[in-house]
Amino acid sequence: MEQKKFKNDPRIELQALVWAEKPADRFVVINNQLLKEGGTIDTIVVEKINPDDIRLAEGNLKWYQAFQVR
């Protein structure tokens, strides 16, 4: 099992996360933009949407950002 590396990137404001069994039904709202898996915000790719976090990538850097209800 992969060890998740979490970081909070100041460029990313994860405002909403909707997880579903079917990957096509998953989405997040980042910086007021609705994104699905594979979507990009600036140079950052939303690689995977999990129930409680997302995996992001920029170049060969990968990290997770947790979703926190405010």
Listing DSSP states for 23-58 in one string gives GGG-EEEETTEEE-TT-EETTEEEEEE-SSEEEEEE
Task: Provide Rg for the chain, Cα atoms.
Answer: 11
Stated pTM of the model: 0.91
Asked if 33 and 62 touch (Cβ cutoff 8 Å), the reply is: no
Q: Return the closest-CA partner of residue 39 out of 24, 53, 51, 52.
A: 24
pLDDT digits (tens, 9 = 90+) for 37-66: 999 999 999 999 999 999 999 999 999 999
Q: Give residue 1's pLDDT band: very low, low, confident or very high (50, 70, 90).
A: low
Q: Specify the pLDDT at position 2.
A: 63
